[in-house]
Copies of this chain bind each other. A is one copy, B any other.
Amino acid sequence: MNISSTDANTGHSGIYYRTIGNEIVVFEHCHTNHLPLLLKGPTGSGKSRFVEHMAERLELPLYTVSCHEETSAVDLIGRFVIRGNETVWQDGPVTRAVREGALLYIDEVAEARPDTIVSLHSLTDHRRSLFIERTGEQLHAPATFMLIAAYNPGYQGIARELKSSTKQRFVSMSFDYPEQSIETEIVARESRLAEKQAAQLVKLARKIRNLNEPGLAETVSTRLLVNAAKLIHQGLPPRSACRCAIVEPLSDDDEIKTALLDIVTLSF
């Protein structure tokens, strides 16, 4: 599990986020109606950045938890720890988010152990409460609290499926890679690369995404394009940059890598 907290009041400069559809409206309606929200979409399609953006927009602190196969309810809610001669209760990120009326973002929620999800049930329905069994404390979420979860439904070989009964507890939106002009704008903006070269990278990504190569578990994300753009902007030849930032991260298979490099060569 990986947790990070962002305090909306500490004056971080605004996070760059490029709107794609009605995602901001739906998010705000969910926030108003006290409905939890589930974001579905592939790696690097902007789910996390969207949530960070909404936290800034709503001026609310954000707690982010990245789940993995060992994430358990105790990690989320809290535990007693021994300090010196005493045991002290330590809030987990969910508890902290509830106390502060923050946004709580549970990333890769499908990978967590089942008790993780179940521990959040009472926060997803009309109760909006969290009972901390170990301390006997019952918390009621402030009106500003909102739970957002995310996962990648297309991920091959996923160990644990999100249960249907859990999915039904959330309003959901699907994320995908943005359309060509928007993606070019994002790549250029984040890497400081010239728009024309950024457009070349996005065209390359389109070609690879259309490959439909069964050996590829995932395809080129916007993140990979930004990495390549940064290396090119730094002075690395485009083909070397694409090899390191796009081809090698996508595959370990020599044939697939050769095929991808051919596409790179045609593009530059």
Q: Are B1 and A168 in contact (CB under 8 A)?
A: no
A230-254 interface bits toward B, Cβ cutoff 8 Å, 1 = contact, 0 = none: 1100111000100011001110100
A211-239 interface bits toward B, Cβ cutoff 8 Å, 1 = contact, 0 = none: 00000011001011001001100111000
Q: Which stretch (A98-106, A112-120, A179-187, A194-202) binds chain B?
A: A112-120
Chain B residues near A2 (CB, 8 Å)? 118-122, 131
The answer to whether the Cβ of A32 comes within 8 Å of any Cβ in the partner chain is yes
Chain B residues near A73 (CB, 8 Å)? 1, 70
Chain B residues near A26 (CB, 8 Å)? 231, 236, 240, 244
* Contacts A82-B82, A87-B83, A90-B134; A68 near B129 (Cβ below 8 A): no
A71 CB to nearest chain B CB (Å): 7
The answer to whether the Cβ of A9 comes within 8 Å of any Cβ in the partner chain is no
Chain B residues near A119 (CB, 8 Å)? 1-2
Q: Are B171 and A5 in contact (CB under 8 A)?
A: no
**Whole-angstrom distance between the alpha carbons of A102 and B74 in the complex?**
27
**Whole-angstrom distance between the alpha carbons of A26 and B33 in the complex?**
35
The answer to whether the Cβ of A38 comes within 8 Å of any Cβ in the partner chain is yes
Chain B residues near A249 (CB, 8 Å)? 38, 167-168, 170-172
Count residues of A near B (Cβ-Cβ below 8 Å). 92
Q: Are A70 and B134 in contact (CB under 8 A)?
A: no
The answer to whether the Cβ of A133 comes within 8 Å of any Cβ in the partner chain is yes
Q: Which residue of B lies closest to A224 (CB)?
A: B168
Chain B residues near A69 (CB, 8 Å)? 113-115
Interface of A with B (CB < 8 Å)? 1-5, 22, 25-26, 29-30, 32-33, 35, 38, 40, 43-44, 66-73, 75, 80-87, 90, 92-93, 108, 111, 113-115, 117-122, 125, 127, 129, 131, 133-134, 136, 138, 152-157, 161, 163-165, 167-174, 217-218, 221, 223-224, 227, 230-231, 234-236, 240, 244-245, 248-250, 252
